[in-house]
Amino acid sequence: MSDSIILALIVFLILCLIVTVVAAIVYSGLFTEVNIKTGSPPIKNVTIAYKLHKGPYKDCGAAFTETVSIGPKLNTIRVSYDDSTEVPDDQCRYIVGSILNEGEEQPDEELQKLYEKFGFKMLSLPEVSLAVTTTFPSTTPLSHWLASYKVYPELHNYIMERQLHAWPFIEINTGDLTHYMAPLSSQSGFHHTGFVVPELITQTAAKIPVTEESSDQDRGTDVAGVMTHSDVSSTMSGQVQSENTETSPAPSLPPSLPHRDQGDGNEQGQAEEHKEPINDTEHRDRGSSESVGSGSSFEELDLVEELERELGKEEEGLTVEEGAKEAP
């Protein structure tokens, strides 16, 4: 076989591979137009077996594989609770499971026990009258990847442009077609809590947001508590101080003197040197009357007498110095 024939075969195989890949992408829904509408949802009230997951939505493949391996003939479902454009990918919460029954039918008990054996939980989703809906092919595994880039952005734009209240986002896989829906609510800010699993309701109740009114009440309670604690502390400190005044052997300052540091005594002595001499008897009577009038203890009287004696000595020294200056 000549080299030209081998080269032609290689080129032909490469072209076949390219055509196959392009055909698979087109078959997966590359050029499928996303038509969004508001109307009846594709499902009624259903009972599902689910598991709660947390992480990037793109990593849900293993969860689908697990639920399909238990019930390969059942339709699968995913309920997404968080907006991936606002919540970090690793914090997004969703459930993946299988639909056990729809409408008035009763779920198969053996199948239900089988799911529970593998750690799945049961939940009944309510029936809603209106929802934002659309469909997308589910022919190949590539279809789910294409849907994340084609369907969800269109759903978000449709809801935002019309200012609708639709939540959460639900996708139901029914063979070759995937239904996407977001239940509508007629009241502003109201969501269908029947689609929320009990685990998330428990977590939300444990982290109730603090409103402005409750915050003010909490702040008022805190302030009142601080004031009460301060009053108690002040009362206790006053009692301790009075006990120390009565029992401590160290003398305390009399009420007639300013409460300053002990180092101010020297400054006071130096200031007294520049004043006129004070009569010892007069000072004693005044000090005694002030101490008695203020109800001072005996220790305070002793301190007054000591201070008076020190002042008397300073006055005597000042008199001697003045006499020495007057002598020739």
Condensed to tens digits (0 to 9), the pLDDT of residues 237-287 reads 444 344 444 444 444 433 333 344 444 444 444 444 444 444 444 444 444
Task: Give yes or no: residues 48 and 118 share one domain.
Answer: yes
Q: How far apart are CA 161 and CA 291, in angstroms?
A: 86
Task: Give yes or no: residues 57 and 173 share one domain.
Answer: yes
Q: Which residue has the higher pLDDT, 263 or 91?
A: 91
Over residues 87-110, mean pLDDT: 92
Contact assessment for residue 58 and residue 142, using Cβ atoms and an 8 Å cutoff? no
Task: Give yes or no: residues 33 and 103 share one domain.
Answer: yes
The contacts of residue 37 (CB under 8 Å, 6+ apart) are 132, 133, 134
Task: Give yes or no: residues 125 and 188 share one domain.
Answer: yes
Task: Give yes or no: residues 233 and 271 share one domain.
Answer: no
Q: Which residue has the higher pLDDT, 70 or 200?
A: 70
The contacts of residue 177 (CB under 8 Å, 6+ apart) are 135, 136, 137, 138
Last residue of one domain, picked from the residues 141, 173, 206: 206
**By residue range, what is the domain housing residue 233?**
209-248
Task: Give yes or no: residues 84 and 112 share one domain.
Answer: yes
Confidence of residue 201 (pLDDT cuts 50, 70, 90): confident
pLDDT of residue 278: 44
pLDDT of residue 307: 62
| Maximum mean pLDDT: which of 94-98, 125-129, 191-195, 260-264 | 94-98
Q: How far apart are CA 230 and CA 227, in angstroms?
A: 5
Is there a domain that residue 22 lies in? yes
Confidence of residue 212 (pLDDT cuts 50, 70, 90): very low
At position 155, the amino acid (one-letter code) is L
Q: How far apart are CA 247 and CA 237, in angstroms?
A: 15
Q: Which residue has the higher pLDDT, 54 or 309?
A: 54
Task: Give yes or no: residues 184 and 62 share one domain.
Answer: yes
Contact assessment for residue 283 and residue 308, using Cβ atoms and an 8 Å cutoff? yes
Q: How far apart are CA 208 and CA 192, in angstroms?
A: 18
Task: Give yes or no: residues 82 and 43 share one domain.
Answer: yes
Task: Give yes or no: residues 63 and 19 share one domain.
Answer: yes
pLDDT of residue 96: 98
| Maximum mean pLDDT: which of 7-11, 91-95, 104-108, 265-269 | 91-95
Q: Cα angle at 153 between 151 and 158, to 5 degrees?
A: 95
Is there a domain that residue 316 lies in? yes
pLDDT of residue 316: 55
Is there a domain that residue 1 lies in? no
Confidence of residue 305 (pLDDT cuts 50, 70, 90): low
Q: What does pLDDT average to over the chain?
A: 73
Residue 146 has phi, psi (to 5 degrees) of: -65, -35
Q: Furthest-apart CA pair in the chain: how many Å?
A: 148
Quick check: pTM over 0.95? no
Task: Determine what percent of the chain is predicted with pLDDT higher than 70.
Answer: 59
Q: Cα-atom radius of gyration of the chain, to the nearest Å?
A: 45
pLDDT of residue 136: 96
Over residues 15-40, mean pLDDT: 93
| Maximum mean pLDDT: which of 58-72, 228-242, 281-295 | 58-72
Is there a domain that residue 97 lies in? yes
At position 191, the amino acid (one-letter code) is H
Q: How far apart are CA 96 and CA 76, in angstroms?
A: 7
Q: Which residues pair with 172 in a beta bridge?
A: 77, 179
Contact assessment for residue 51 and residue 95, using Cβ atoms and an 8 Å cutoff? yes
Residue 3 has phi, psi (to 5 degrees) of: -65, -35
Is there a domain that residue 163 lies in? yes
Confidence of residue 133 (pLDDT cuts 50, 70, 90): very high
Task: Give yes or no: residues 117 and 230 share one domain.
Answer: no
The angle that helices 264-272 and 298-326 make with each other, rounded to 10 degrees, is 40
Model pLDDT for residues 290-299, shown as the tens digit of each residue: 444 444 445 5
Q: Which residue has the higher pLDDT, 259 or 72?
A: 72
Q: How far apart are CA 176 and CA 144, in angstroms?
A: 11
Is there a domain that residue 262 lies in? yes
pLDDT(73) > 60:
yes
pLDDT of residue 191: 53
C-alpha 203: how far from its chain's center? 12
Q: How far apart are CA 245 and CA 198, in angstroms?
A: 64
Is there a domain that residue 9 lies in? no
Strands of the sheet with 177-183, listed across from one edge: 37-39, 131-137, 177-183, 169-174, 76-80, 93-102, 46-54, 121-125
What's the CATH code of the domain at 73?
A: 3.20.80.10
pLDDT(289) > 90:
no
Helix%, strand%, coil% for the chain, nearest 5: 50, 15, 30
Last residue of one domain, picked from the residues 248, 278, 303: 248
Is there a domain that residue 7 lies in? no
Q: Which residue has the higher pLDDT, 28 or 324?
A: 28
Distance linking the first and last C-alpha atoms of the chain: 148
Residue 206 has phi, psi (to 5 degrees) of: -75, -15
Last residue of one domain, picked from the residues 193, 224, 248: 248
pLDDT of residue 266: 44
Model pLDDT for residues 145-190, shown as the tens digit of each residue: 899 899 999 999 999 999 998 999 999 999 899 999 999 976 444 4
Task: Give yes or no: residues 23 and 164 share one domain.
Answer: yes
pLDDT of residue 2: 80
Number of domains in the chain: 3
At position 126, the amino acid (one-letter code) is P
Q: Does the N-terminal peptide bond of residue 277 adopt cis geometry, omega within 30 degrees of 0?
A: no
Task: Give yes or no: residues 33 and 129 share one domain.
Answer: yes
